Every structure is written in C-alpha cells, then in structure tokens.
Structure 1
Amino acid sequence: MRLPIKASHVPVRLATGAFILDSGLGKRGADEGTAAGLHGMAAGTYPQLQGQDPQRFVKLLSGGEIALGAALLLPVVPSAVAGAALTAFSAGLLGLYARTPGMRRPGSVFPSPQGIGVAKDVWMLGIGLGLVVDALADRRR
C-alpha cells in the first residue's frame, strides 16, 4: 500500500504531530491558574483575546493543538494542508515571542532565558514551510 504522503515527510510529521498532540492533551484539564497564565500571555500579545474567558481560551487552544497534532499524524491529511496549518500555528507562537517584553535579549532577535521556551518553536515554522514548499514543488513537476 502506498502512503498518500511522501516517506520523507513521515519523520517530521510524526515528531511534530506527537509533540503538539501531547501539548494539547496536557492543556485539556488546565486549572484556573494555568488558564489565566496562558490567556494573559496570549492576550498581552493579541489584544482581541482580552475579552475571552481564560478557561474557554484554553479549551479552544487545547482543541486546536489536538486537531493540528492529529492532522500531522494522520497520513490521509495532505502534507500541504498539514504544513499550512503548522505554519499558521507556529507563526502565532512566534508572534508571542516577538511581541512579549523580556522574551528577547535587548536589541537582539535572540532569546533571553525567559524566551527560549517560545523561541524554539521556530523549528515548527521551518517544518511547516518545508512541507508546503515540497508539496507545491511536487505539483509543479
């Protein structure tokens, strides 16, 4: 049986999908303090989230991560689609990194110790873009 995705996409989709799925599953039962912290960080960067209830925000975030993780893990989801979703998700995370005070060393794009946890998500942007570019290149051939 032939996979509907390229064999070279399997390792990056498995690693990234499992990581994101686990993150989403871990947020499902977030307590009020965790929800408030996650919501506060996101709302500080994305003001349109300020009016959202923190518990609802975390439920939506958790659901989005679970859906994205599953899309990456399921080979029936085309790499272009999974890659585009991963690119959008990671761009949002990198927006947090770029706009949150204290995440970067002064005058630099490189992370402060507090920013390392978010800055490392740049690898997901690279994987997402790689999946999209590779799928588009295959269509042109």
Structure 2
Amino acid sequence: MRIPVRLHQIPARLVTGLFILNSGIGKRGADEQTAEGVHAMAAGAYPFLKDRDPREFVRLLSAGEIALGAVLLAPFVPSLVAGAALTGFAGGLTGLYLRTPGMREEGGLRPTQAGLSLAKDLWLLSIGLGLMLDDLQDR
C-alpha cells in the first residue's frame, strides 16, 4: 500500500499549502479597488479574462487558492495529485511574471524590484514539479 505523503514532502506541502491558503482567505471579500487591480493584472497577461467581472474573478481566484491550499495540507491527497494542482496554478502565476511588462530585467529572466513578488512563483512551480517527480519516481 502506497503512503500518499512521504515524510520529506511534508515541509514543502505544509509551507506552500499555508501560504496559498492564506492568500485565498485574504482575497475573500476583496473590495472593488482590490478586485479591479488583481483582475487588471491577470487580464493583462491573459486577455481572455478581460470580459470577466473583477469581483467574480477574485471570488473564484480566492476559492481556487483556498481549495489548492487545502489539497496541499491534506495528508490523504497523494503528492502526485497535490503536485499537479500546484504546478498548474504556479504555471499560471509564472505566466503573469513572464508576460507582465516591467517584471523582468530587459532581455532576461532576472526580476526587477517590482517583479520580485511574482518571481517567487517559480519556487511554487519547482515545488509542484518536485512533488510530482518524487511520487512518479516511487512508482
């Protein structure tokens, strides 16, 4: 019988799960100005989001972050599943970093001062991939 979470995976799942859960809870009940700012940044990177209502977008984003945080924290969810969910979410956030003007130094991947808050999403992507690869290697 496979154990869904291996001991060495717990720190990564715990820290990322709490971080993302906190982010989602923080977005619940976001005011109009916050919702418009979050939506504008997302729509700038992903134009298909432009027609979404900002408050609805942030409500769904909040729910998604809360769900993802819970998945990462739940020890009965296999690391392959939790890692895949984190990788997908972090991939979207990494797209914000790569597509938003002013986040990176000219001609490279190094973050500007403004881009530091988004560059950390590469860590989330790496953690998600690590959880997946670790679980796949064990099969």
**Contact 1:3–1:75 at 8 Å: present in 2 too?**
no
Counterparts of 1:96 and 1:16, CA distance in 2: 19
Counterparts of 1:13 and 1:121, CA distance in 2: 15
Counterparts of 2:129 and 2:32, CA distance in 1: 35
Match of residue 137 from structure 1: 137
CA drift at 1:106? 1.0
Match of residue 89 from structure 2: 89
Match of residue 65 from structure 1: 65
- Name stretches of at least 5 consecutive residues in structure 1 with no aligned partner: none
- After TM superposition, what 4+ stretches of structure 1 lie above 2 angstroms from structure 2? none
Pair 1:35-2:38 in alignment: no
- 1:81-122: per-residue Cα shift (whole Å, max 9, x none)? 000000010010010000100001111210011100001111
Structure 2 counterpart SS, 1:132? helix
**Contact 1:93–1:121 at 8 Å: present in 2 too?**
yes
Counterparts of 1:99 and 1:114, CA distance in 2: 13
Match of residue 8 from structure 1: 8
Aligned amino acid, residue 9 of structure 1: Q
Pair 1:115-2:101 in alignment: no
Match of residue 56 from structure 1: 56
Counterparts of 1:132 and 1:63, CA distance in 2: 23
- 1:55-77: per-residue Cα shift (whole Å, max 9, x none)? 00000000000000000000011
Counterparts of 1:77 and 1:10, CA distance in 2: 12
Query: TM-score of the superposition, structure 2-length normalised?
Result: 0.97
Structure 1 counterpart SS, 2:16? helix
Identity of aligned residues (%): 62
Counterparts of 2:95 and 2:4, CA distance in 1: 32
RMSD: 1.1
Structure 2 counterpart SS, 1:104? coil
Counterparts of 1:40 and 1:10, CA distance in 2: 35
Query: TM-score of the superposition, structure 1-length normalised?
Result: 0.95
